[in-house]
Amino acid sequence: MADTDTLELLLRKLERHTPLPEADRRAVLALPAHGRSVPPATYLVREGEPPTSCVVLLSGFAFRHKIVESGARQIVSLHLPGDALDFQSLYLRYADHNAQTLTRADLAVVPIAAMRELVTTRPLVARAVLMDLLIEASILREWIVNIGRRNARARLAHLLCEFACRMDIIGLSEPDGYALPMTQEQIGDALGLTSVHVNRSIKALSQEGLITRKGRLIGFPHIKELREVGDFSELYLHLDEAIG
For 135, the domain range is 5-142
pLDDT tens, 151-206?
Answer: 999 999 999 999 999 999 998 888 888 999 999 999 999 999 999 999 999 999 99
pLDDT, mean over the chain: 93
Is 163 within the bounds of a domain? Answer: yes
Is 242 within the bounds of a domain? Answer: no
CATH number of the domain where residue 205 is located: 1.10.10.10
DSSP label of 150 = S
With beta carbons less than 8 A apart as the criterion, state whether 106 and 37 touch. Answer: yes
Q: Are residues 215 and 193 in the same domain?
A: yes
Q: Choose between 21 and 244: higher pLDDT.
A: 21
Average pLDDT over residues 144-154: 97
Q: Are residues 59 and 158 in the same domain?
A: no
d(C-alpha 40, C-alpha 87), whole Å: 22
Q: Are residues 72 and 106 in the same domain?
A: yes
Domain termination site, one of 142, 167, 200 = 142
Res 76: pLDDT: 97
Q: Are residues 11 and 34 in the same domain?
A: yes
Is 244 within the bounds of a domain? Answer: no
Total of domains in the chain: 2
Q: In what order do the strands lie in the sheet with 53-59?
A: 34-38, 105-111, 53-59, 84-85
Average pLDDT over residues 125-129: 96
Q: Are residues 163 and 116 in the same domain?
A: no
Q: Are residues 20 and 104 in the same domain?
A: yes
Residue type, 175: P
| Residue 71 pLDDT exceeds 60 | yes
Which contiguous run of DSSP H or E holds residue 178? strand 178-179
Q: Are residues 21 and 136 in the same domain?
A: yes
Q: Are residues 85 and 173 in the same domain?
A: no
Is 54 within the bounds of a domain? Answer: yes
The DSSP result for 51-120, as a single string, is: P-EEEEEEES-EEEEEE-TTS-EEEEEEE-TT-EETGGGGT-SS--SEEEESS-EEEEEEEHHHHHHHHH
Percent of the chain exceeding pLDDT 90 equals 85
| Residue 4 pLDDT exceeds 50 | no
Res 1: pLDDT: 39
Domain termination site, one of 126, 142, 158 = 142
CATH number of the domain where residue 20 is located: 2.60.120.10
Domain termination site, one of 142, 162, 186 = 142
Q: Are residues 97 and 15 in the same domain?
A: yes
Is 228 within the bounds of a domain? Answer: yes
Is 243 within the bounds of a domain? Answer: no
